Amino acid sequence: MTARRRRRGNALVGTMIFLVLSMLLWTAVYQQAASQLRVEKALTARAEHADRLKRATAWALTLLETDKPPVGASRRYSCRMILDGQTYLVTYLQSWMDPDIYWVQIVLKDPAYTDYPLAPNHF
């Protein structure tokens, strides 16, 4: 009779150990999956942002192909551009060495940003 009493609690202990180990395994898998989803979400947002900047850069360079921007003594021309609901500040900087060379800088701005005029359709 004493041998039977010793064996009665083993099933409960085994079940508890199994449940704890399975929960630990589930936690590890869940954390790995959650971190992978966060990485994928960040990469997708980064790619979308890069695509918007590519479209804005293409538009700014197309505008530069129409003619030279009206640069002043500072050799710089800045304007706002609204593309896909986003506001960008486009700055054309004329080279000191060659007046036919321009550097183009594009910065994403707040939609309420109105310090510069809207970009023309052509220069």
Residue ranges covered by each domain of the chain: 2-109
> Other C-beta atoms within 10 Å of 88: how many?
23
Q: Are 82 and 90 in contact (CB under 8 A)?
A: no
Which residue is it, tokens 């054309």? 92
Measured distance CA(115)–CA(77) in Å, rounded: 13
Average pLDDT score over residue span 59-76? 86
30: exposed, middle or buried (C-beta count within 10 Å: 0-12, 13-18, 19+)? exposed
Least confidently predicted of 36-40, 59-63, 116-120: 116-120
Supply the pLDDT for residue 27.
Answer: 85
**Within 13 Å and on the Cβ side, how many CA atoms surround 44?**
6
Nearest to 78 by CA among 90, 68, 66: 90
Query: Residues 14-32: what's their mean pLDDT?
Result: 87
Higher pLDDT, 13 or 47: 47
User: Phi/psi zone of residue 84: left (φ > 0), alpha (ψ -120 to 50 degrees), beta?
Assistant: left
Stronger pLDDT, 3 or 84, i.e. the higher one = 84
